[in-house]
Structure 1
């Protein structure tokens, strides 16, 4: 009986080890991070702040690279991915603010410093962790995950070109 139990358990462990992590969870985290950009754009519009903030972008990139290295990822390849996210985030904000010219928002944005930035930092760290887990099991992101990425990363202000640039940068990420 003990022999059969060990055989059963070893079979279960080997099957779970062969299962690859689903990229949809990572893609959902990326989409969730980008979902904050309308609030960022509205906050900046309400406070007469420019969308582009180079000094803040440098801080975001520095923290993303630190998080990536801590997770075991190549900092340079992750920096390129986060630069692509920043470009997509600014595109979302610009397009959303353009819509605000014709139809003012009927709500207040979440607080940039108390709510949005802490959430973005946490989501950025999660993205790095999830990327590392996926790459450990699969080696890289390929064209076969592209359809799932397109379906999962949704924002009405994100263009097809924005998504393609994000996915191309994601597919270049390497493990240290």
Structure 2
């Protein structure tokens, strides 16, 4: 008996299996409502990084501000306790936001250095305008994080995150930064 007549049937079974897997992947549970405001807040924070970069350009100050970063993370740890969140997880979340913002800042400064100038746009004051915005965003970020936290271990988390994140990306630099900001949002068993 020849195996040739079985080949179309095996091919049909294999293709059917692939189609079933593909259909199943598209039928994942919908993302929880808490994901979108969390990502929107992270994205808003990244966009404020553009303004921070302008202030760093004008002042010639370094992007790295270890004392300020430590203060932001310490404040977040305190807020975590009052919100019944794990302070270490919140510290990691804020550290990721800070690193993502610095990624944007370094990228923009490099672009402006190559062009020989920064954009000609109004410059807000870092201490009086930008930092209060960042503090307010941190409050919202922790609230949205608390709302989303129960879903971090869901097997669909990475899928939800990838889909939702793709709707917010405005360019390659900010896209990479948003990936960094959300990199540890889902907890995947390995």
Q: Tell me if TM exceeds 0.5.
A: yes
1:85 Cα deviation (Å)?
A: 1.2
Structure 1 stretches of 5 or more lacking a match? 1-18
Give the number of the structure whose alpha-carbon radius of gyration is greater.
2
Q: SS at the partner of 1:42?
A: helix
1:133 Cα deviation (Å)?
A: 1.7
- Aligned match for 1:112, one of 126, 150, 156: 126
1:8 alignment counterpart:
none
- Aligned match for 1:150, one of 159, 165, 170: 165
Is 1:131 aligned to 2:149, yes or no?
A: no
Structure 2 stretches of 5 or more lacking a match? 1-30
Q: Aligned ranges for residues 18-167 of structure 1 at < 5 Å?
A: 20-101=32-113, 102=115, 103-136=117-150, 138=151, 140=153, 142-156=157-171, 157-160=173-176, 162-167=177-182
**Bigger relative contact order, structure 1 or 2 (CA pairs below 8 A, ≥6 apart):** 1
Q: SS at the partner of 1:68?
A: helix
State the Cα RMSD in Å: 2.1
CA contact (8 A) 2:42 2:141 kept: yes
The verdict on how the C-alpha distance between 1:139 and 1:86 changes in structure 2, with shifts beyond 3 A counting, is closer
If the length of structure 2 is used for normalisation, what is the TM-score? 0.71
Q: SS at the partner of 1:108?
A: coil
How far apart are the structure 2 equivalents of 1:70 and 1:151?
A: 32
How many residue pairs were aligned? 152
Q: SS at the partner of 2:174?
A: coil
How far apart are the structure 2 equivalents of 1:50 and 1:36?
A: 17
Q: SS at the partner of 1:171?
A: coil
The verdict on how the C-alpha distance between 1:64 and 1:154 changes in structure 2, with shifts beyond 3 A counting, is farther
Moved more, 141-150 or 74-83: 141-150
Encode CA deviations 1:106-129: one digit per residue, 9 max, x unaligned.
Answer: 113221111110110111111111
